[in-house]
Structure 1
Amino acid sequence: MIKPTARMHLSPDDVQFIATTLGKSRAGYEAVLSLLASESDRDAILDDPELFESITTQPAPANISLSLYFYVLIRHALRHFGMEKVDISDYLASMLAEFSKPGRAEMISESSQKEYRYLVDMLAALLEAANAEQEFEIQSHIGNYSMFLAGVFPDYIYKRATYGRPGPDVSYYEQVGSSGYQHASRSRAAEKFNLSEIFSVLASHFSEIRRALNYMADQYMHLDRQPNSMDKMMRRVQDYIASNRMRFS
């Protein structure tokens, strides 16, 4: 079960990196450590622009955890798009860190034995769910998997939809992912794990959040070896047109 734990579970290396980056003196170092120990002050520390700059400008930003890495980048991207909810950044960072494990993105849960590479197979598995808890796991994973692919790897989706055997475009992932989150948000399991509101926001703002993750991947992560390729530019043009249609419809 993926939960928003990126902010709460900073590793010792994370803490040292943050304190060293923001505390320029011994007294400053100790002050940052003290602030990180306080839940009410930790968020302000993690929002410090200097921390973001340090992570994004260094070739290899120390030995920080993937949770911290993704949290700082996602938080910065979402705020750039006017989204201030800390728990959304926290959940997405935890999800991306979890999905960075080999094969994890294709598994419904960490203990799953079967891998699903296509949303249609996950939807088929949903019809065979034995109980409400399994339905919740599959629905939330459909939302997560859709956000993961459409948010971090939009060029992969664009190329599959454009060349060769036609595949679904990003709007398909938005529709299926939003529906998965929406159904998951209404589950008793979502209430049990305090995920109802998070999933509801992800469902209702899937498109905007997906675009923020696209921005993060394009501007901060540089996953594409050809960052200015025609495919990337055409993907952005299509996305711009689609977003304006939604805005004025």
Structure 2
Amino acid sequence: MIHANCRVRLTADDFAFIVRVLSQNESDRVSLVRLLTDEDTRDAILDHDLLAKAILDSPERLPISPQLLFYVLCRRVLRDSKVRSRETSDFIASLLDGFMRTARLDSPEELGQQSMRYISDMLQALGKAGTREAFLLRSHIANYALFVSGIFAENVEQRRRKGAPDISFYEQMGRMNYRAAAEYREAKKFNLQSIYEELSDGFHDVRLALNDLASRLLHVDTPRLPIIAAP
């Protein structure tokens, strides 16, 4: 399961970096350390333009975690879109962190021996899945559709020329499965209901924001993408 938890997984190096970037003197440094322990103030600090600028302008690899990097960049590209909540930005950052760190393109590990490599298989499995399994499958399909269409749009276009589904298909799959997953009680249990609803309504805007993020701010290798076919 992917959860909106990048902000609670910030490391000591992350805090040190934030303090170094934003503090001007020793008294400011102490104040920032104290403020970062308060969630509301922490969120305001993470939205600071100077923090994003320090990350984007650095010519060297920074001593920060992927969760800080992705959260700050996601907030930056999403702030002018319809999807503006911090929780959803945090979820998308966690999604990027999870997929890029583990290259997790298979169905969720929670499905155990039922784990499937191809999303076309997952779509077929929905018809006979139990409630919990269906929620996991729909969540994964929607997350995968957002990740691929957002970060690897050029690859999707290249594959489309060879007969694979196009971007509009991924958008349809993402919207539909986020909306369906939001209706499961598990979505409410894991505090994902409002996030899934926001992503369903704003999938196109989020996809375009991630296209911008991938083309201007990230340098990633293209993975071997599983086959995805219409049901």
TM-score scaled by structure 2?
0.89
Relative to structure 1, is the Cα distance of residues 98 and 110 closer, same or farther in structure 2, using a 3 angstrom cutoff?
farther
Deviation at 1:221, TM superposition (A): 1.3
Deviations 1:6-46 (A, max 9, x none): 11221111111111111132222222111110011011100
> Which residue of 2 is the match for residue 146 of structure 1?
145
Partner Cα distance (2:136, 2:160) in 1: 28
Q: Which residue of 2 aligns with 1:20?
A: 20
What amino acid sits opposite 1:171 in the alignment?
S
1:171 counterpart = 2:174: no
2:37 and 2:70 map into 1 onto residues whose CA distance is 20
Q: Deviations over 1:89-115 (max 9, x none)?
A: 011011111112233232323675666
1:28–1:61 CA distance, 2 compared to 1 (3 A): farther
**Pairing partner for 1:197 from 194, 199, 209:** 194
Aligned residue among 209, 214, 230 for 1:212? 209
User: What CA distance in whole angstroms lies between the structure 1 residues aligned with 2:14 and 2:190?
Assistant: 26
Per-residue deviation, 1:63: 2.3
CA deviations 1:99-139 (Å, max 9, x no partner) are 1223323232367566645431221232342x211110110
SS in structure 1 at match of 2:109: coil
Who is 1:103 aligned against?
A: 103
Number of residue pairs matched?
222
User: Structure 2: how far apart are the matches of 1:210 and 1:146?
Assistant: 9
* Residue 205 of structure 1, CA deviation: 1.1
1 CA distance for matches of 2:208 and 2:84? 15
Question: More relative contact order in 1 or in 2 (CA 8 Å, sep 6+)?
Answer: 2
Work out whether residues 66 and 97 of structure 1, in 8 Å CA contact, stay in contact via their aligned partners in 2: yes
1:233 corresponding residue in structure 2: none
Contact 2:107 2:122 in 1 (8 A): no
With normalisation by structure 1, the TM-score equals: 0.83
Aligned to 1:47: 47
Residue 33 (structure 1) aligns with? 33
Per-residue CA distance 1:47-68 (angstroms, 9 max, x = gap): 0111111111213442211111
Quote the Cα distance in structure 1 between the aligned partners of 2:102 and 2:94: 15
Deviates more, 1:76-85 or 1:133-142: 76-85
C-alpha distance in 2 between matches for 1:110 and 1:15: 33
Q: CA deviation at 1:218?
A: 1.4
Alignment check: 8 A CA contact 1:104 1:110 kept: no
SS at match of 1:203: helix
Gapped regions of structure 1 (runs ≥ 5): 226-249
**Residue 244 of structure 1: aligned partner:** none
1:177-214 residue CA offsets vs partner (Å, 9 max, x unmatched):
11111110000100111111110111111111111111
Question: Which position in structure 2 is the counterpart of 1:242?
Answer: none
Moved more, 103-112 or 48-57: 103-112
Q: CA RMSD in A?
A: 2.0
**Which stretch has the larger CA shift, 203-212 or 25-34?**
25-34
Residue identity over aligned pairs, in percent, reads: 37
Mark the CA change 1:116 to 1:23 in structure 2 (over 3 Å): closer, same or farther: farther
**Cα distance between partner residues in 2 of 1:222 and 1:172:** 25
Question: Which residue does 2:225 correspond to in 1?
Answer: none
Distance in 2 (CA, whole Å) between partners of 1:125 and 1:17 is 45
Secondary structure in 2 aligned to 1:77? helix
CA shift, 1:81, in A, is: 2.8
Deviations 1:140-185 (A, max 9, x none): 01110000000111111011112xx311100000001111111100
